[in-house]
Copies of this chain bind each other. A is one copy, B any other.
Amino acid sequence: MSKGLPKRSENYSEWYNELVKKADLAENSAVRGCMVIKPYGFSIWEKMQRALDDMFKETGHSNAYFPLFIPKSFLSKEASHVEGFAKECAVVTHYRLINDPNGNGVIVDPDAKLEEELIVRPTSETVIWNTYKSWIQSYRDLPLLINQWANVVRWEMRTRIFLRTAEFLWQEGHTAHATKVEAEEETARMLDVYATFAEEWMALPVVKGQKTANERFAGAEDTLCIEAMMQDGKALQAGTSHFLGQNFAKAFDVKFQDKSGALEYVWGTSWGVSTRLMGALIMAHSDDLGLVLPPKLAPIQVVIVPIFKGDEQLEQISEKINPILKELKSKGISVKFDKDDQARPGWKFAEYELKGVPVRVAVGMRDLESGTVEVARRDNLSKEIVSIEGIAQYLENLLNDIQENIYKKALDFRTENTFEVNTWDEFTAKIEEGGFLMAHWDGTSETEEKIKELTKATIRCIPLNSKSEAGVCVLTGKPSEGRVIFARAY
């Protein structure tokens, strides 16, 4: 019994939109491009936040909070940065509303104009480096390892829930270092943190790579990224880690005295992941029945549905189930016992499938007699009759299996949809089927742009683990030293 989702094979885009809505994850708000994250969706985001935050702290970072607003002049201090963000920023120009003396209701008070316009942060490098100027004097103040959880705004024209919204939630790490090498190491370390999070928590295999100059963050000297494959074969950039060189230190005059007493500019990094990860999670694993959540991020990991008529039967089932609930909870497993007598079991089954609950346990009167329950997996939809004896341990193991299986399925899918292509004909044919194309490229922005124009495919990254291999560019025939990943992308 499906909840009336479109099929992925028929309309992937509509399937995604409907799933986000029907599974109560999020919805569009009355404000153009801004979303409302609903409680169920937010509880998944909270699990992501908690896991990432723990990883940031384990790697020595502290959280802090910087202002929402950025003076216009700050944004302009780093040339490529303002170029990148000016096109799409929300600008605060006034600070008061009044009742229109001409009777047009509430209007902006023309007398309450700000001296300098404020930009709602699209990212916080500028306001943070302006602060670091007073925090950093000596090598003893370094490294400075700070993260912020915040909302940011980029006035995107075409928006899509979770994937591209005018306002989104994210974390942004901003670190400062005494040497280039340390900053480069930090850039790589945080990319590793993101990759580990994606693979171990989201069950999402990712390619770690470097962005081309074209796709680099506005203000960075080098941008590393993790790229994931969605079920329609398109790529999704799931996180980025930037080596900023001394760009922001120079723009905001942040120098430190090194051990020899000399004044040097500080080296910087920044790195972020956002609610976009919610989109990746949904699109990577879910199916035509609804969400498929990896157990580590599922708000409810196990749901127990009693099959009963009347209070007495429910009572008997509860007696058997209550100690199991207790045992599961003591194992840190989040479990729901759905005793609601207003909904039929079949309706509940479909509902929990839609919501992506990894394991469903059904138990009726016959089960009590036979000392068994029915256990259904969400990931592969298989069912099994399992003895009640030792069920908690069984379920704990099963959740681990499911976590691994979801990862493996996504990895197999990516492997099956990654192709080496060597000619332009191959390239143009394969790109229509979707997937990652491993192809040679001559290293120029011109060729990269030409290929994008002709095929809508972009270079997702130069994989960090790519082996050097002599070849010729798939478009121009010029020499190349290794393959890069092309794909159409979200």
Q: Which 3 A-B pairs have the closest CB atoms?
A: A39-B62, A34-B67, A86-B97
The reply on A94 being an interface residue by CB < 8 A is yes
CB-nearest residue of chain B to A92: B90
Q: Is the CB of B119 within 8 A of A30?
A: no
| Known contacts A67-B34, A69-B34, A108 near B127 by CB under 8 Å | no
The reply on A146 being an interface residue by CB < 8 A is yes
Q: Is the CB of B92 within 8 A of A64?
A: no
A residues sitting closer than 8 Å to B (CB atoms) are 27, 29-31, 34-39, 42-43, 45-46, 62-72, 74-76, 82, 86-98, 105-106, 108, 117-120, 127, 130-131, 146, 150-151, 153, 155, 167, 169
Q: Is the CB of B167 within 8 A of A68?
A: yes
**Chain B contacts for A69, CB-based, 8 A:** 31, 34, 90, 167
Residue in B27, B30, B62, B95 whose CB lies within 8 Å of A90: B95
**Chain B contacts for A88, CB-based, 8 A:** 95-96
Q: Is the CB of B36 within 8 A of A131?
A: yes
CB-nearest residue of chain B to A149: B149
Residue in B35, B92, B106, B155 whose CB lies within 8 Å of A75: B106
How far is A30 from B120 in the complex, measured between Cα atoms in Å?
A: 14
| Known contacts A37-B65, A63-B42, A68-B167, A120 near B92 by CB under 8 Å | yes
Count of identical protomers in the assembly? 2
**Chain B contacts for A127, CB-based, 8 A:** 29-31
A289 vs chain B, min Cβ distance (A)? 24
How far is A72 from B100 in the complex, measured between Cα atoms in Å?
A: 13
Residue in B38, B62, B70, B91 whose CB lies within 8 Å of A92: B91
**Chain B contacts for A62, CB-based, 8 A:** 39, 42-43
**Chain B contacts for A34, CB-based, 8 A:** 67-69
| Known contacts A62-B42, A63-B46, A89-B97, A105 near B120 by CB under 8 Å | no
Q: Is the CB of A64 within 8 A of B89?
A: no
Q: Given A31-B118, A97-B119, list of 12 further CB < 8 A pairs?
A: A34-B69, A36-B65, A39-B146, A42-B63, A45-B65, A46-B63, A86-B96, A89-B95, A90-B92, A91-B93, A93-B108, A96-B155
CB-nearest residue of chain B to A134: B27
**Chain B contacts for A97, CB-based, 8 A:** 72, 75, 82, 86-87, 89, 91, 119
CB-nearest residue of chain B to A72: B106
How far is A55 from B106 in the complex, measured between Cα atoms in Å?
A: 39
A208 vs chain B, min Cβ distance (A)? 28
A-B contact pairs, 21 of them (CB 8 A): A30-B130, A31-B67, A31-B71, A34-B68, A36-B67, A42-B63, A42-B64, A43-B63, A68-B151, A69-B167, A72-B106, A72-B108, A75-B97, A76-B106, A82-B97, A89-B96, A90-B95, A91-B92, A92-B120, A97-B119, A151-B151
**Chain B contacts for A120, CB-based, 8 A:** 68, 92, 120
**Chain B contacts for A151, CB-based, 8 A:** 68, 150-151
**Chain B contacts for A38, CB-based, 8 A:** 64
How far is A312 from B91 in the complex, measured between Cα atoms in Å?
A: 60
**Chain B contacts for A86, CB-based, 8 A:** 96-98, 106
Of residues A92, A119, A153, which shows the largest number of chain B Cβ atoms within 10 Å of its Cβ?
Answer: A92
Q: Is the CB of A96 within 8 A of B92?
A: no
**Chain B contacts for A42, CB-based, 8 A:** 62-65
**Chain B contacts for A43, CB-based, 8 A:** 62-63
**Chain B contacts for A64, CB-based, 8 A:** 36-39, 42
CB-nearest residue of chain B to A133: B30
Q: Is the CB of A94 within 8 A of B96?
A: no
**Chain B contacts for A94, CB-based, 8 A:** 90-91, 93
A336 vs chain B, min Cβ distance (A)? 14
Q: Is the CB of B63 within 8 A of A39?
A: yes
Q: Is the CB of A118 within 8 A of B90?
A: yes
How far is A71 from B34 in the complex, measured between Cα atoms in Å?
A: 12
**Chain B contacts for A29, CB-based, 8 A:** 66-67, 127, 131
| Known contacts A34-B67, A67-B29, A91 near B108 by CB under 8 Å | yes
**Chain B contacts for A89, CB-based, 8 A:** 95-97
How far is A79 from B57 in the complex, measured between Cα atoms in Å?
A: 46
A47 vs chain B, min Cβ distance (A)? 12
